[in-house]
Structure 1
Amino acid sequence: MSKYTLFFLLLAFAACKKDKGYYDYTNELKKYDGNTYDFLHSQQQYDSFLLAVDRVGLTDSLRSGRYTVFAPSDASFIQAIDNMNTLRAIQGRGPIYISSLPLEQLDTLVCRYVVRDTVSAGRMQLQDGLDLPAIRYGYPMHGKFSRTDAEGHVNGGPGIITYSDTKGVIYTDRWSNATTVAIDIVTDNGLVNVLDKNHQFGFDEFIGRMNPTTSTPWNDYPFYIPGVIALEQYNRGGNKVAYLDFSIDNKGGQYRPAENVDIASGEDGFKIGWTETDEWMDYSVDVTETGSYKMQLRYGSGGDNGKLHLLLDGTTVTGSAMTTKSTGGYSTYTDIYVSGVMLKAGKHLMRLYFDFALYDLRFIKLLPEGRPLPIPGVITLEDYDPGGEGVGYHDVTKENSGGKYRPDESVDIDYSRNSGGGYQVGWTDTGEWMNYTVDVKQTGYYIASTLLGSPNDGRKFHIEFDGVDVTGSVTVPNTTDYHKRQNANVTVYLTKGIHVMRFFEETGGYDVKSVTFRPLN
């Protein structure tokens, strides 16, 4: 029998009507001479699934790894995508397809159709079925084998598997289910079960994930304010949800190439370019305290009179309007500062709106006016206390080797390269330190996350509050590069009130960007 016709015979056998009374169905294992990926490809009705598999990087896994696949047909994808694009048309949004779906969301869903190890239907005959961890992230799926009824005989029909997305809960009435039409197809490296064509890809989550109506933070947490807003790290959610961009692609092709916001390289980091009037980008933010802030915007422009402003939860932020002047070109950067930016404490959706787009944008920084840096929050380490050598800082050199921020002082500050925006302190040396006046809002335990980069082993620092070492000696992770950063985390106990925090460099040999304090609970 040809391997190209095997699958169709199997489907016909499983689906044919039994109209002559009692029969005793015996489930037979069918064998394909080849790997799982090639089997699915040979059937010519899983092209959509395989395109998604290719996009999320599971091709080699299906060719050589030992997995069980619950295969959704092209019809499952067509139904899901057609429904989504019908809704997008009503919303005035353009269509999207498998090749342009948000990759991280597609990855999450595709992985639910591939489970670890080769798990036959017989192993799912337990009364409660069998828990099946997905190939990535160990996401909890579930399989239960049973037999259908045939004329004249209860449970005398073909065997089926009810395959369920458990949604991470134990309550079965909240699960989303799919059923098979063929089971236990054996390949050289795994098993394949075929899902009914009426199953819609995504287990009821496809539209919500691929066509969100609310945006979510790019990182694990909202941006703390005070702090730096890395403009390339606008929210997830896509065009007309997390941002509005009139181009059909990312013209710069950097950082988030599958989206529409135009991101290019700038100052060894990233910039938002090809801006157009009335475009916008959203950012989830967490404002630690209500009050007035000073805002810095770094930009480049080839002309005068560019305009932009901020909105918080849809309301224009008082004092946030900015007007840019020519810097001599879009790749020549300068800073504009505005004071009196009034923000309210709490978690908000902040929108950067382009009133008249005549600029490329690097990052925004917001600092409290006339107040200490609050904790919880992020301490941007280039913003040490005033007073100079021996008061605000101690540095063994007399010049700012980076020269990119506070150039008349001795702390060595460079741009924060790669992603993230803002600045970082570099050229660190043994015994150097920097002081920060801070306001701890609540007594308790905090996770202190220090963002550093280093190609060296065994480098150390500690953090003091009012002269007391609260962290102990902390080892800097070897990240292989000064501008490839990683957090060093430690738990600290802080008391409410105004304090002087000192970042103390026990050794040099690393660049350091910030310390973020988050409540432990």
Structure 2
Amino acid sequence: MRNITMLAGLLVLLTYLGCKKDKGFYAYENQLKSYDGNIYDFLKEQHQYDSFLLAVDRVNLGDSLRDGAYTVFAPADASFKQAVDNMNTLRDLQERPLMHIGTVPVEQLDSLVSRYIVRGVIRADSMLFQDGLTMPAIRYGYLMHGKLNYADAEGHVKGGPGVIRYSDTKGVIYTNRWSSANTMAIDIRTTNGFVNILEKDHMFGFDEFIRRMNPTNSTPYNEYPFYVPGVIGLEQYDRGGPRVAYQDHSRDNYGGKRPTEWVDVTNAEENGMKVGWTEADEWLKYTVDITETGEYYFTLRYGSPNDNGRIHLELDDQPIVGSFLLMPSSGGFNRFQDITTTIHLTAGKHVLKLYEDFANYDLRFIKFLPKDRPLPIPGTITLEDFIPGGEGIGYHDNNTGNNGGKYRPNEGVDIDLTRNEGGGYHIGWMDTGEWMKYSVDVKNTGFYNIYVRTGTPNNNRKFRIEFNGENKTGTVVIPNTGDYSNWGTTVTTVHLEKGPQEMVFFVEDGGYDTKDITIRPLN
């Protein structure tokens, strides 16, 4: 009973900040409170901020609150519970798995937690300016805002306690678009900064978080959309969950390669990964960047013991004419083959959907190539698609056989299936002096970043890339990635002129595998 009484007393002290009677009205004074310890330990001792501290620990900010100089606007457990309950109400309606603070993706939690911690030791009275004070969050330099106001007490304007209106500016100058919360106690001094207590029923910071955790639009699997032309590993469908990024009729995750999802992804028997256990009317979405309007060869790699599998593609939920494929038997779920048709695509960023009209197959990857025209830049150059003509024209290889034999088997370049996620093919058994030539079309003059994916257990392997006979990249040294199947990326910046050109990938020092070249505008 004594402990309960002491705790109640402390809460009153934190909330009302020293109320005293004077001449018929209450005149509140903000009293600076002190705690002999760091910010983290103070919050831990209160037993009201455990959810916040769990999130802090998951995003590796615990040591910062013990040792760094910061100002914290602390949300109570009640705030987190309200937010998680609201999030899971929506997730349940969308038939998504429920989440809690311990299972929310770290990158999502990080963007939330960081907004409650401000760099530097900042007293409330420094926020008294007419426009308040703009403050950088602990990470990413994200700008928060604080404005100190005094509440009215009975009979005395602004005679009440000081209250900070703490706001997420969301990167805009218009205050009506900010998300804000008020404090219930301010300026609690610790050995490494200040703590301000936010009101328990606030939703500041959680509004945007809940939308991100319950999206209505999918987002790319990687940082960027997939370039078209190029290859898309079908296991790399968009993020966003069921009914948004994919439709899968079973919540059982067979294969377990994307364990928090319902889509059944497992290792493919021939290398790489596959989507299996498919059912009719399931679908998968992929955010794409189509670099030019025109005709494309569309190739699907699949495995099936049956003759009646069917799929089609949609772009922004509109069926793509010519994309409906009837898939003959490949000889089994573990035996794969390609089927190709021609479709028309419109340039721009879109959401591509692969729809399983009648499903009794396993799916590996899809590939798009321009029909009868050069590979566009910006875009992805699939290195197995060098120009035709054979030895000395489209390529030079130091031996006549195709060691991989998985693509263009009658050519001398050694092509194998990619051994990890992402699908498609790669060039292997590369030897010094070999080269491959590509017909490309640079859409605009300017600077470009060139990203080359390679894998090798060796040190100091080298290549260069030429455009119209000019060495644009210089000698590029490839990092040791530990294995031929572990892809690393080298980046170099070049200036390219607009127009059709011949691009050559030249092996200066062999002993590595390479998959593709992605060329993006510098800005």
TM range (shorter): 0.7 to 0.9
Is 2:304 the partner of 1:301? yes
Distance 1:116 1:268 in 2: 48
2:213 is matched with 210
2:13 is matched with 13
Question: TM-score, length-normalised on structure 1?
Answer: 0.87
Moved more, 180-189 or 232-241: 180-189
1:392 is matched with 394
2:505 is matched with 503
Distance 1:352 1:220 in 2: 21
Distance 2:229 2:417 in 1: 18
Deviation at 1:176, TM superposition (A): 1.7
409 and 9 in structure 1: CA distance in 2 versus 1, 3 angstrom threshold:
farther
287 and 79 in structure 1: CA distance in 2 versus 1, 3 angstrom threshold:
same
Deviation at 1:126, TM superposition (A): 5.2
From 114, 133, 148, the equivalent of 1:111 is 114
Amino acid at match of 1:297: L
Distance 2:34 2:330 in 1: 70
Matches within 5 A, 1:22-421: 22-23=26-27, 25-31=29-35, 36-37=39-40, 39-59=42-62, 61-62=64-65, 67-87=70-90, 92-94=94-96, 96-99=98-101, 101-121=104-124, 124-125=127-128, 128-186=131-189, 191-248=194-251, 250-254=253-257, 256-266=258-268, 267-327=270-330, 329-330=332-333, 332-421=334-423
Distance 1:15 1:358 in 2: 63
Amino acid at match of 1:21: F
**Is the 2:303–2:329 Cα contact (8 Å) retained in structure 1?**
yes
1:449 is matched with 451
Distance 2:315 2:327 in 1: 21
Distance 1:3 1:124 in 2: 36
Distance 2:191 2:55 in 1: 22
412 and 39 in structure 1: CA distance in 2 versus 1, 3 angstrom threshold:
farther
**Is the 2:278–2:359 Cα contact (8 Å) retained in structure 1?**
yes
**Is the 1:48–1:98 Cα contact (8 Å) retained in structure 2?**
no
2:475 is matched with 473
**Is the 1:23–1:153 Cα contact (8 Å) retained in structure 2?**
yes
Determine what percentage of the aligned residue pairs are the same residue: 58
Amino acid at match of 2:170: K
Which contiguous aligned blocks of 4+ residues in structure 1 show a shift greater than 6 angstroms? 2-7
SS at match of 2:52: helix
Distance 2:515 2:253 in 1: 28
Distance 1:381 1:7 in 2: 68
Structure 1 portions without partners, runs of 5+? none
336 and 245 in structure 1: CA distance in 2 versus 1, 3 angstrom threshold:
same
Question: TM-score, length-normalised on structure 2?
Answer: 0.87
50 and 271 in structure 1: CA distance in 2 versus 1, 3 angstrom threshold:
farther
SS at match of 1:505: strand
**Is the 2:463–2:477 Cα contact (8 Å) retained in structure 1?**
yes
**Is the 1:292–1:339 Cα contact (8 Å) retained in structure 2?**
no
Amino acid at match of 1:490: T
Q: Deviations over 1:238-289 (max 9, x none)?
A: 21111112333543332x4322222223355332233222111111112223
78 and 149 in structure 1: CA distance in 2 versus 1, 3 angstrom threshold:
same
**Is the 2:264–2:277 Cα contact (8 Å) retained in structure 1?**
yes
Q: Give the count of matched residue pairs.
A: 515
Structure 2 portions without partners, runs of 5+? none
Distance 2:422 2:8 in 1: 53
Q: Deviations over 1:58-102 (max 9, x none)?
A: 45555665544322223323433444455556x654573325545
Distance 1:59 1:329 in 2: 52
Distance 2:440 2:154 in 1: 78
Deviation at 1:393, TM superposition (A): 0.6
From 417, 433, 436, the equivalent of 1:434 is 436
**Is the 1:438–1:500 Cα contact (8 Å) retained in structure 2?**
yes
**Is the 1:149–1:155 Cα contact (8 Å) retained in structure 2?**
yes
Report the RMSD for the aligned CA atoms in angstroms.
Answer: 3.1
94 and 232 in structure 1: CA distance in 2 versus 1, 3 angstrom threshold:
closer
Q: Deviations over 1:20-47 (max 9, x none)?
A: 52535142223165x6555444444334
1:484 is matched with 487
Moved more, 100-109 or 222-231: 100-109
Deviation at 1:433, TM superposition (A): 0.7
Moved more, 321-330 or 200-209: 321-330
491 and 153 in structure 1: CA distance in 2 versus 1, 3 angstrom threshold:
farther
**Is the 2:94–2:243 Cα contact (8 Å) retained in structure 1?**
no
**Is the 1:23–1:150 Cα contact (8 Å) retained in structure 2?**
yes
308 and 189 in structure 1: CA distance in 2 versus 1, 3 angstrom threshold:
farther
Deviation at 1:383, TM superposition (A): 0.9
359 and 157 in structure 1: CA distance in 2 versus 1, 3 angstrom threshold:
same
Q: Deviations over 1:388-432 (max 9, x none)?
A: 211111122333333332333322223333332212223322221
3 and 132 in structure 1: CA distance in 2 versus 1, 3 angstrom threshold:
farther
**Is the 2:180–2:204 Cα contact (8 Å) retained in structure 1?**
no
